Chains A and B, each alone.
Chain A
Amino acid sequence: MQDAQATSTASPVIAARDLSLTFQTNDGPVHALKDVTLDVQKGDFVSFIGPSGCGKTTFLRCMADLEHPTGGSISVNGMTPAEARQRRAYGYVFQAAGLYPWRTIGGNIRLPLEIMGYSKSDQNARIARVLELVDLAGFEKKFPWQLSGGMQQRASIARALAFDADILLMDEPFGALDEIVRDHLNEQLLHLWDRTNKTICFVTHSIPEAVYLSTKIVVMSPRPGRIADVIESTLPRERPLDIRDTPEFLEIAHRVRDGLRSGHSYEG
């Protein structure tokens, strides 16, 4: 936490100002995001939580230049999202692992490296390093179908870590996995964040997951998608799994739940 506070005076990694995105549909305009203002500092682990339709994924996709805002401004590393994407400023992890079945695990991690033109020896070194990082050393020659869902998702995280992006955008990466695997991956993700000092934006709809992982929890509410509450976590940076039974943890979870509920009461 001290690291995060020390850097908070520096310019934010992601800065959104009055960000709005309206989809024009046959049933009239849909306000996916409305006047969202948020700063993400270097080294933060920010979770976005809220019911479906609250714009949390849309917000993440705006950072990644996969959606184009219709109002306000957003910068990533001080650039527009398009420039940031062209400079490969971030790694994006989707809900599904999305590994290519015709490539080995190593080959899948090599894919973005090939696209970005890393040298062959550099590619090999990076593959070995990130496989180690996600605890998949020795699985380089295996094909995706030979791995469990959790291992596949770890491989997809390794793929997002393989190139020099200091931002990691994760869109419900563990949403399709069972509770036990999820706990394990959450723990590993925290270690990984601790070791790599990346800035992570993490979309989830699980309150315990958000509280356990984050230094900052952004509670969002739907129609129009907006920020209902921003909660700075008081939990220490070092977090064993059983921290989830401490009063402090439950207190934060309670605040998140309150935020989600108040977001809903705006309706009607």
Chain B
Amino acid sequence: MRNVVPVLTVVATLIALWYAGAVALNAPWAYDKAARAEVTLTFPELVADTWSQEKPKLPAPHQVATEIWNTTGAMIASGRPFSKRSLIYHSWITFSSTALGFLLGTALGTLLAIGIVYNRTMDMSVMPWVIASQTIPILAIAPMIIVVLNAVGISGLLPKAMISMYLSFFPVVVGMVKGLRSPSQMQLDQMRTWNASRSQTFWKLRLPSSMPYFFTSLKIAMAASLVGAIVGELPTGAVAGLGARLLAGSYYGQTIQIWSALIMAATLAAVLVGLIGLIQRITLRRMGMAA
């Protein structure tokens, strides 16, 4: 609760800057219109115009807020929350591929990390490939994944989830390798004195020890999954999802639509990452490992 005042101050400052920026960026168009209509604008008229244009360079916060309300709350109020015009519908589409990609990426990342920690050959060989995979621009590889999977008859949710997985497994691998290696030599020696098997050492020592690293990785992976899902929606012909809204918005110069989709995406990311943070806190506190 102590944080409320500083946070609100920062938010208020950002909004003020945003309004000022809207005036500065949208003023040329307002002057153009005024020149064509052969009127001169007073300053209040100028401000009023820059904050209410239909296709502004930078929409004002209240325009974005209105658009978001019209495509979410108002849709619910009118009983059509999953209409194709609703941001709730598009968010849901993006969320479902984010979640599936996140789960797949977490599973893949954890399995690779276990392999790297337990298998010397994998330890020597896998990590460079994992790093190389992240140096390939996702925008270049995303259409190919979609096209290739479509060619073998897989379409819909899975191709987009694959792109999310491609981005999200990386932080999990890096974090879990470190986490699974976090037990001290003394703890490993101790397991050895009890003649513990490798699987016992894994389940009773390595895996619990890795939990703080695991949750930190999951937060990054979740954000990366969302980016992957949005990128994955771009080459699908902009049918549905927040990525589709972004693309459609940029086709038709609908800046307000772009910004509202952006803010929805950011909100979705904040909620998902916050959710993991909550699970992290509860789990680590129960494990006596709270930071």
Contacts and interface: CB of A to CB of B under 8 A. Distances in A.
Q: Do A and B bind each other?
A: yes
Taking residues whose C-beta sits less than 8 angstroms from the other chain, chain B's interface range is 10 to 19
A124 B208 CA distance: 23
B9 interface: no
A64 B191 CA distance: 12
A22 B205 CA distance: 31
B194 A116 contact: yes
Task: Kindly state the interface size class of chain A when it binds its partner.
Answer: 20 to 34
A115 B288 contact: no
Given A98-B186, A98-B187, A66 B289 contact: no
A114 B187 CA distance: 16
Interface string A50-88: 000000000000001110000000000000000001101
B195 interface: yes
Contacts of A143: 288
B14 interface: no
Interface in B180-209: 184, 186-187, 189-196, 200, 204-205, 208
B194 A115 contact: yes
Contact of B204 (A94, A95, A111): A111
Interface in A89-106: 90-92, 94-96, 98, 100-102
A114 B194 CA distance: 10
B186 A102 contact: no
B144 interface: no
Interface in A145-164: 145
B287 interface: yes
Given A101-B287, A116-B194, A66 B189 contact: yes
Contact of B208 (A66, A102, A115): A102
B189 A115 contact: no
B195 A145 contact: no
B204 A88 contact: no
Nearest to B283: A102
B194 A102 contact: no
A64 B204 contact: no
A145 B288 contact: yes
Contacts of A263: none
A175 interface: no
Most buried by B among A91, A98, A102: A102
B244 to A, nearest CB: 44
Interface string B234-246: 0000000000000
Given A88-B194, A92-B190, A115 B204 contact: yes
A201 to B, nearest CB: 13
Nearest to A104: B288
Contacts of B184: 98
A64 B190 CA distance: 10
Most chain A C-beta atoms within 10 Å of own C-beta, residue among B184, B288, B289: B288
Contacts of B192: 65-66, 85
Given A101-B287, A102-B208, A145-B288, A85 B186 contact: no
B196 A115 contact: yes
A64 B195 CA distance: 11
A144 interface: yes
Contacts of A96: 186
B193 A102 contact: no
A96 B186 CA distance: 9
Contacts of A114: 204
Contacts of A100: 205, 208
A215 B36 CA distance: 107
A81 to B, nearest CB: 11
B6 to A, nearest CB: 32
B193 A85 contact: yes
A96 B184 CA distance: 11
A112 interface: yes
A144 B286 CA distance: 13
A92 B193 contact: yes
B99 to A, nearest CB: 28
Nearest to A92: B193
Contacts of B289: 101-102
Which of A91, A96, A112 has the most B CB atoms < 10 Å from its CB?
A112
A85 B190 CA distance: 11
27 contacts: A64-B193, A66-B189, A66-B193, A85-B192, A85-B195, A86-B195, A90-B193, A92-B190, A92-B193, A94-B189, A94-B190, A95-B186, A98-B184, A98-B186, A98-B187, A98-B190, A101-B287, A101-B288, A102-B208, A102-B286, A102-B287, A102-B288, A102-B289, A111-B204, A115-B195, A115-B200, A143-B288
Given A115-B191, A115-B204, 5 more contacts: A88-B194, A90-B193, A92-B190, A115-B195, A115-B200
- Identify the 3 closest CB pairs spanning chains A and B, nearest first: A102-B287, A101-B288, A92-B193
